[in-house]
Amino acid sequence: MEELVSVYAAGLALDHVNRRLYYTNVGSVTVDHVTYSWHKVETIRIQSVYYKVRTIVSSHADRPRAIAIDSSNGYRLIFSSLWLGA
pLDDT tens-digit profile of 26-63? 777 788 778 777 778 888 888 767 677 777 766 654 56
* Cβ-contact 18, 71 below 8 angstroms: yes
Number of domains in the chain: 1
Least Cα distance to 53 among 6, 7, 5 occurs for: 7
Name the average pLDDT for the chain: 76
Q: Find the mean pLDDT for residues 16-31.
A: 82
The pLDDT, as a whole number, for residue 61 is 45
Range of the domain at 52: 3-82
- Read off the pTM: 0.69
d(CA 69, CA 16): 10
Amino acid occupying residue 81? S
